[in-house]
């Protein structure tokens, strides 16, 4: 990751007046120098709409160049961003088992605040949002790697410049332009684990004339599934992730007896002979586990699904006159992801076998724990299609000190269709049990094949294909004007004013049966039908003062007007916010820049948070209350991975989150070859939107002697939990960023060394107003330290690189969380290496190894292993991976 050196002081002084009079094109907000004329260099910088003389400004920006991306050895933009140190707690990568298209998308999570708090731009414009985030977060995996010129990470809140969502910072992905020729690229990855193979083919072409240029890139991307069984230690004797929802049914009933404390005694029943003959079933009918047959769901599921993606992106511009230019961008992406979860547990509504059913083996009413494995696993095909069009005019008017202007229109549509196969209609299951036609416990002693065929027929009649559809549409019109307001040689003032109007529509729906709450295996019900209009006006000023002192200030007003259908009624609302920002940059001597910035931020609730109807989810948590009161009674239930039926939903009364951000630091170019940077950041959020975690709700139930959010069965176990979005208190995080780079030229090659490290000083969250904050920094999932070091060498077409990625140790947090099963996690170091050769026929070949030493990711649990017991957002679970890349240009 490269750190840019500043423009020399002499150029800075000589070009100040002219440069500040020009404006950064909103659609090309990049940190690259452009020639304004023979003498003047103008630089557009992410985080400001006014072109700068200095590449370094009052706001800290990390620049990851195309060369840095290639030397990282990572396969996608999402993977590159995940390794960035400011992505402190890792990012989401789509995994099986997540609805609303979440299994098919990736995002970025700056400062650990969440993907909704990081604004992702493509060439300075907002990227279309994903359906799984209600349009609030972009899918960073859909950008073709070959077209990326660099990635700029603004490590500062920027709501005053870009509006809502830029709370933690801004990711600006800059694409290549002015490309001429034809380039073919093919690369492949082969991990040590079974599956995970990746193949990608890219074609890039471009044409340039004296009037303009056009660039076109097409990319085909294909990655194979990785099964959970090939990652997790299913054969380890301490592995314990088995489910009572089994392909061999379990019955749970009241025995009619009581223990010495006067509590009713409950027991399980299952058919031991069927257990022993059925794949992926552990026979627990020896009495040690209350007669249950346990199903090993991790033996059949996919961790990462099969994914195929086709994407195309084009940039173009044309000079209409000497003072007017047309520019545009068009992109489209189509992806298909096939994910897999275990056969459906009939758990949304538990079926019951009555005591008088002819096939009831115990003569008592039984709650049935069933799983429809006989008709196959829960396979989901997720199809995501995205289109994005931008067109605009920009120009110059020779009035006063000269006016730069632009007018743009942008239209984006993202659609998601998910087909969920082999779900189960609960009502049909209950009717089939009540019919007395199905001997699900095989009390009649059928041959196994006959019983298995009968169960396939049973579930086949209740099978349901769930359909989820979503569409996010955004249409925006915007414009701005900038000029030099004043310039007397020693002092100048430049300014920009602009306005934006955006119309957003978001619809997501499930098929009526899934949304009714009568289908098991899906996540239907969180339907959204909403629209939103956003009106924004902004201004920005930058003053260049004597003694190399620059001051910039920005002010932005946003108004949101939204309405939606929340199921039982229509709801609407309006809110607005003014956000200021001020920054200071001082260069006391040429190599040293001191800087600081302060600003207010806000995040508008997305339309899912406001308008989604109630939906059913199944959340993991340990029921400490019941398990402590019933030690050893049901060890399978008393696991941290036990899933509990949880109703979630939106809240139309939500208000925007508000916050402040502060950064301060320095950049020191010690020599022409050596530069260092240090920055401090502090972010505060109030009125934060969240739903309480199930673990937190259960802890509050114990602390408060009960909770209206937890409903328990007659035996005391959890029946259902309620958790809805609300404005919940506050969050404060602070820390330090460090960067350094060094370049060395020798007779046997050029060497480059760069590194970055982020330290999280605090990550304090409160769950209700007035409550004491809880500091998560350094606890499991919240590493205090994250960083990377990159060493590269180049000589006569040969190249080599070694990239090292570090994630700091984490305390178990058992004492803080009130549990005893989390593990202390040691520091984690991964190494990627590669060698390359650029030959004389305008091509290049690269061979490398990611995770050279096959570093194993640490388990979250102490004393046992579990299914998905590694934080995949922080750690590599695929092991050592060979990659090969070939490029050829014409």
Q: Where are the domains of the chain?
A: 9-230+304-343+379-425+463-613+650-692+728-889
Q: What is the largest CA-CA distance in the chain?
A: 100
pLDDT in tens, 383-419: 999 999 999 999 999 998 889 999 999 999 999 999 9
The span from the CA of 582 to the CA of 600, in Å, is 10
Contact by Cβ (8 Å): 333, 325: no
**279 contacts: CB under 8 Å, gap ≥ 6:** none
**Mean pLDDT in residue range 300-318:** 93
- Confidence category of residue 619, pLDDT binned at 50, 70, 90: confident
DSSP string covering 704-737, please?
HT--TTEEE-TTSSEEEEEEE-EE--EEEEEEEE
- What is the rounded average pLDDT for all residues in the chain? 86
**612: nearest Cα among 499, 754, 507, 466:** 507
The kind and range of the H/E element at 71 are helix 66-72
pLDDT at 862 over 70: yes
**DSSP-derived pairing of the beta strands 250-258 and 292-295:** unpaired
Distances (CA, A) of 287 to 291, 293, 367, 769, 793: 5, 11, 19, 49, 65
- Confidence category of residue 158, pLDDT binned at 50, 70, 90: confident
DSSP, collapsed to helix, strand or coil, labels residue 188 as: strand
pLDDT in tens, 587-610: 999 999 999 999 999 888 888 888
**Which residues partner with 792 through β-bridges?**
752, 801
pLDDT at 433 over 70: yes
**717: nearest Cα among 819, 647, 637, 646:** 637
For residue 464 the two structure tokens come to: 């349901």
**DSSP classification of residue 290:** T
pLDDT at 285 over 70: no
pLDDT value at position 8?
Answer: 30
**DSSP classification of residue 4:** P
Place of tokens 């506050």: 730
Neighbours of 837 (CB within 10 A): 13
Ranges 23-27, 67-71, 116-120, 679-683: which has the least confidence: 23-27
The span from the CA of 581 to the CA of 162, in Å, is 11
The span from the CA of 424 to the CA of 430, in Å, is 11
Q: Which of 23-27, 485-489, 515-519, 641-645 has the highest mean pLDDT?
A: 485-489
pLDDT at 26 over 60: no
Neighbours of 768 (CB within 10 A): 11
pLDDT value at position 770?
Answer: 64
pLDDT in tens, 752-800: 999 999 999 999 988 766 667 889 999 999 999 999 999 999 999 999 9
- Confidence category of residue 70, pLDDT binned at 50, 70, 90: confident
**Mean pLDDT in residue range 480-486:** 92
What whole-number percentage of the chain has pLDDT above 90?
A: 53
**Mean pLDDT in residue range 516-536:** 84
**Which residues partner with 208 through β-bridges?**
213
The span from the CA of 503 to the CA of 560, in Å, is 10
pLDDT value at position 59?
Answer: 85
Segments in 377-510 forming alpha helices (H) = 426-435, 448-462
The span from the CA of 646 to the CA of 526, in Å, is 13
pTM of the model: 0.85
Distances (CA, A) of 833 to 526, 790, 850: 45, 10, 6
Distances (CA, A) of 414 to 27, 450, 470, 546: 20, 47, 8, 49
CATH code matching the domain that covers 9-230+304-343+379-425+463-613+650-692+728-889, chosen among 2.40.170.20, 3.40.640.10, 3.30.450.20, 3.40.50.920: 2.40.170.20
pLDDT value at position 724?
Answer: 77
Neighbours of 629 (CB within 10 A): 12
The span from the CA of 702 to the CA of 699, in Å, is 5
**375 contacts: CB under 8 Å, gap ≥ 6:** 343, 422, 456, 459, 460, 463
**141: nearest Cα among 152, 127, 154, 155:** 127
pLDDT in tens, 45-63: 677 777 655 667 788 888 8
Neighbours of 881 (CB within 10 A): 23
pLDDT value at position 523?
Answer: 66
pLDDT at 135 over 80: no
Contact by Cβ (8 Å): 339, 300: no
The span from the CA of 461 to the CA of 773, in Å, is 52
Query: Phi-psi bin for 632: left (phi > 0), alpha (psi -120 to 50), beta?
Result: left
The span from the CA of 519 to the CA of 509, in Å, is 15
């Amino acid at each position: 990751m490269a750190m840019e050196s500043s423009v020399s002081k002499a150029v800075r002084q000589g070009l100040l007046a002219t440069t500040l009079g020009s404006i950064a094109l909103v659609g090309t907000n990049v940190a690259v120098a452009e020639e304004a004329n023979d003498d003047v260099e103008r630089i557009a910088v992410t985080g400001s709409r006014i072109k700068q003389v200095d590449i370094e400004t009052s706001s800290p920006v990390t620049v990851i160049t195309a060369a840095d991306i290639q030397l990282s050895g990572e396969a996608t933009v999402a993977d590159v961003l995940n390794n960035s140190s400011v992505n402190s707690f890792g990012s989401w990568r789509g995994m099986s088992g997540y609805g609303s298209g979440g299994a098919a998308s990736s995002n970025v999570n700056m400062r650990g605040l969440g993907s909704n708090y990081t604004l992702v731009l493509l060439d300075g414009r907002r990227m279309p949002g994903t359906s799984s985030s209600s349009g609030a977060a972009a899918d960073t995996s859909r950008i073709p790697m070959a077209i990326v010129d660099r990635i700029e990470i603004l490590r500062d809140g920027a709501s005053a410049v870009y509006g809502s969502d830029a709370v933690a910072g801004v990711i600006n992905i800059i694409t290549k332009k002015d490309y001429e020729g034809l380039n073919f690229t093919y690369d492949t990855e082969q991990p040590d684990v079974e599956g995970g193979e990746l193949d990608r083919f890219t074609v890039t072409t471009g044409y340039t004339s004296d009037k303009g240029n056009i660039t076109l890139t097409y990319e085909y991307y294909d990655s194979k599934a990785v099964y959970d069984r090939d990652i997790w230690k299913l054969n380890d004797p301490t592995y314990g992730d088995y489910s009572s929802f089994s392909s061999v049914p379990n019955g749970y009933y009241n025995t009619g007896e009581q223990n010495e404390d006067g509590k009713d005694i409950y027991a399980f029943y299952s058919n031991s002979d069927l257990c022993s003959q059925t794949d992926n079933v552990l026979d627990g009918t020896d009495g040690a586990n209350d007669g249950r047959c346990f199903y090993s769901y991790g033996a059949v599921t996919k961790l990462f699904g099969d994914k195929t993606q086709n994407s195309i992106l084009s940039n173009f511009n044309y000079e209409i006159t000497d003072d007017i230019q047309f520019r545009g961008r068009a992109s489209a992406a189509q992806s298909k992801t096939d994910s897999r979860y275990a056969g459906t547990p009939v758990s949304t509504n538990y079926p019951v076998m009555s005591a008088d059913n002819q096939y009831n083996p115990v003569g008592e009413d039984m709650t049935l724990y069933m799983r429809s494995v006989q008709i196959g696993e829960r396979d989901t095909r997720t199809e995501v299609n995205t289109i994005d069009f931008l067109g605009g005019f920009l120009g110059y008017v020779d009035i006063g000190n000269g006016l730069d202007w632009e007018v743009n229109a942008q239209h984006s549509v993202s659609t998601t269709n998910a087909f969920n196969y082999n779900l189960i209609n609960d009502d049909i299951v209950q009717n089939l049990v009540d019919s007395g036609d199905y001997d699900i416990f095989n009390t009649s002693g059928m041959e196994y094949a006959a019983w298995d065929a009968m169960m396939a027929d049973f579930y086949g009649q209740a099978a349901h294909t769930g359909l989820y559809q979503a569409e996010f549409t955004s249409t925006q019109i915007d414009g701005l004007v900038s000029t030099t307001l004043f310039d007397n040689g020693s002092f100048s003032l430049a300014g920009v004013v602009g306005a934006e109007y955006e119309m957003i529509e978001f619809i997501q729906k499930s098929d009526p049966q899934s949304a009714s709450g009568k289908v098991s295996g899906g996540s239907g019900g969180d339907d959204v039908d909403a629209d939103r209009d956003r009106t924004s006006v902004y201004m920005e000023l930058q003053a260049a003062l004597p003694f190399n002192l620059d001051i910039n200030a920005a002010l932005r007003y946003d108004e949101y007007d939204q309405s939606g259908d929340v199921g039982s009624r229509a709801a609407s609302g309006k809110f607005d916010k003014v956000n200021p920002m001020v920054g200071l940059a001082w260069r006391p001597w040429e190599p040293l820049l001191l800087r600081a910035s302060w600003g207010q931020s806000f995040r508008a609730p997305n339309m899912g948070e406001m308008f989604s109807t109630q939906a059913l989810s199944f959340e993991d948590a340990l029921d400490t209350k019941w398990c402590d009161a019933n030690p050893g009674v049901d060890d399978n239930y008393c696991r941290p991975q036990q899933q509990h039926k949880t109703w979630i939903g939106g809240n139309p009364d939500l208000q925007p989150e508000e916050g402040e951000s502060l950064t301060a630091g320095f950049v020191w170019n010690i020599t022409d070859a050596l530069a260092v940077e240090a920055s401090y950041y502090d972010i505060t959020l109030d009125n934060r939107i969240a739903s309480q975690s199930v673990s937190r709700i259960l802890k509050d139930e114990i602390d408060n002697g009960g909770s209206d959010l937890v409903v328990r069965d007659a035996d005391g176990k959890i029946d259902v939990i309620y958790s809805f979005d609300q404005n919940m208190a506050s969050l404060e995080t602070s820390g330090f960023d460090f960067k350094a780079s060094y370049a060395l030229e020798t007779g046997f090659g050029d060497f480059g060394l760069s590194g970055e490290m982020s330290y999280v000083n605090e990550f304090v969250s409160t769950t209700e107003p007035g409550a004491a904050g809880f500091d998560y920094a350094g606890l499991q999932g919240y590493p205090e330290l994250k960083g990377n070091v990159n060493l590269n060498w180049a000589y006569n077409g040969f190249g080599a690189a070694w990239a090292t990625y570090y994630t700091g140790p984490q305390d178990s947090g058992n004492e803080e969380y009130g549990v005893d099963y989390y593990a202390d996690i040691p520091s984690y170091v991964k190494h990627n290496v590669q060698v390359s050769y650029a030959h004389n026929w305008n091509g290049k070949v690269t061979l490398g190894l990611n995770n050279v030493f096959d570093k194993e990711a640490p388990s979250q649990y102490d004393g046992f292993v579990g299914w998905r017991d590694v934080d995949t957002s922080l750690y590599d679970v695929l092991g050592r991976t060979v990659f090969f890349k070939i490029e050829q240009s014409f």
